Amino acid sequence: MNTAPKRSEARLLVPALIFVALVVAAVGSLGTPLITSVATTFHVSLDSAQWTLTIALLSGAVATPVLGRLGAGPHRRATILATLAIVVVGSALTVLPLPFAWLLVGRAAQGVGLGLTALMMGVARDHLPERRSAATIALISVVSIIGAGVGYPLAALLAEFGGLRAAYGLGLLVTALAFVTAWRSMPVAPEGRSAQVNVAGAFVLTGGLLLVLFLVGERSLWSRHLAVAVTLAVAAVLLLCAWTVSELRTTTPLVDVRAVRHPAVAGANIAMFVGGSGMYLLLTLITRYAQTPHSAGYGFGLTTFVAGLVLIPFSVLGFVAGRLTQRVRERIDGPLLLAGSAAIVGGGFVLFATARSDLAELLAAMGVLGFGVGGFSAAMPGVILAVTPKSETSSAMSFNYVVRSVGYSLGSAIGGLVLAAGTATGHLFPNEDAYTTAALVGVAAMAITTMASLALARRRSPETDPATAPVGEPGQGRSSRTES
């Protein structure tokens, strides 16, 4: 059955997919610039306020594999609309004058929407022509990254002039628009699909991911209660191992683990994990450095809103890189694009480590980071989907998102640990040398990512060329495409 929409419908579908992906990414990042405002408004500690960001990331990582499996079945449209409805309700809870606990519930509901990115990719692959779908999927991947750069300054501006509720009101407005957009534009899934959810496996994976992300985010647990942290870490490993065994045995896996073991998919996910750690580390370092007051002996003392503007080069150049990547992806193999983009991010680390005395230098480092992240994000789906059946698009990209989320959390934790180690007793801010040390750690991470991507390029066979194989037809290489 031909599920490709008419040209006029495709024109409406593409911006709808990108808009939904951008909204859920921006709303998911709303907690970042509002942590201080939450602490003062609700009279809680900064550590408690930090959970408005952490809980959204946790719920997003946990919901993503389940949504990815549901999105592979016949009820994808209903899944998208139900998820967006949950996000809208959560956004309303963040705006209403309710206690802090309800704010956390609302943020958790908003985080569920982060799992929609993979479903948008599945819709694009099923309902758009091959070339158009590849470009749209890459753009969805890019906007899911740069969405933070869009939401951060807007939320900070509203919080500064209208208060915390005004900032969260922005989230309610855009999520409601996203729901209406999806309701009017999302097509039904192709016929013949089935997607039974392995409920037991979902619970086991949820437990494992929650423990992993909790341990990564709660850095103080490792220093104050080491035995408890180690016990939880062992429990997380056992749960994830049990989940893997369960997925291999069941006929209805949440994630097709056998497909994930494909060299192209496994290599891409390893690169995503290590590279994501480095990318988020640099983003954290630059924004924190920019907001450090002059009294620390360095930094620029920027307000939350002005610090948010520092993210503009990240978003703009990330978008530019994503578009450029689409133009060269048929000439340069996907793994090589990953390697080149990782090397660019490494250059951003070097720039930050050696030149940060002027705000323009920070903006330049942020721009280099954005360009590298944009190229990396645009190339990643092509590498994975070249060897993934159409019906498994949402599931495969959902797994990649989970890997990315864990990598981002690890990068944030590494940055916090290095800066904490460089903070003298009785001092509030770390020594400036700690930033250099953290940057060198990032250089190492991006070097590993670059080498892993190059190794993937060497191992890739012509039959699985992600730059030339038609999306949705794994195993069809350059020669067979020419013959057809």
- DSSP letter for 300, please: -
The pLDDT-based confidence of 36 (bands split at 50, 70, 90) is: confident
pLDDT at position 443 is 96
d(CA 484, CA 473): 13
Helix axes 334-354, 312-328, angle to 10 degrees: 150
Residues 77-105 have pLDDT tens digits of 999 999 999 999 999 999 999 999 999 99
pLDDT at position 406 is 82
Across 31-45, 248-262, 369-383, 404-418, least confident range: 248-262
- Listed by start position, the domains of the chain span 10-187, 199-251, 254-459
Which tokens go with 139?
């753009």
Percent with pLDDT over 70 in the chain: 89
d(CA 164, CA 153): 14
Residue corresponding to tokens 């809208």? 88
pLDDT of 470 over the 50 cut: no
Highest mean predicted confidence (pLDDT) among 152-161, 170-179, 463-472:
170-179
Scored b (16 or more CB within 10 A) or e, 58-75 reads bbbbbbbbbbbbbbbbee
CATH superfamily name and code, 10-187: MFS general substrate transporter like domains (1.20.1250.20)
- What letter represents residue 24's amino acid? V
Range 254-459 has CATH code 1.10.10.10:
no
- DSSP letter for 115, please: G
pLDDT at position 11 is 67
- Average confidence score pLDDT of the chain: 83
Average pLDDT of 149-177? 84
pLDDT at position 465 is 45
d(CA 91, CA 170): 9
Which tokens go with 204?
């086991």
Would the CATH topology of 10-187 be identical to that of 254-459?
Answer: yes
Highest mean predicted confidence (pLDDT) among 158-172, 219-233, 450-464:
158-172
pLDDT at position 474 is 44
- The vertex-475 CA angle with 65 and 269, nearest 5°, equals 35
pLDDT at position 323 is 87
Give Cα separations from 414 to 54, 126, 151, 440 (angstroms): 15, 39, 24, 12
d(CA 448, CA 19): 33
pLDDT at position 482 is 35
Average pLDDT of 403-432? 84
pLDDT at position 442 is 94
pLDDT of 396 over the 90 cut: no
Give Cα separations from 283 to 146, 439, 440 (angstroms): 11, 11, 14
pLDDT at position 467 is 40
Average pLDDT of 410-433? 84
d(CA 147, CA 154): 11
163: left (phi over 0), alpha (psi -120 to 50) or beta: left
192: left (phi over 0), alpha (psi -120 to 50) or beta: left
Average pLDDT of 112-141? 87
pLDDT at position 353 is 95
Give Cα 420 distance to the centre of its chain.
Answer: 25
d(CA 367, CA 212): 31
pLDDT of 461 over the 70 cut: no
Residues 289-300 have pLDDT tens digits of 988 888 888 989
pLDDT at position 440 is 95
Which tokens go with 444?
């190492």
pLDDT at position 450 is 95
Comparing C-alpha atoms, which of 313, 318, 348 is closest to residue 446?
348
Which tokens go with 211?
């423990």
pLDDT at position 425 is 81
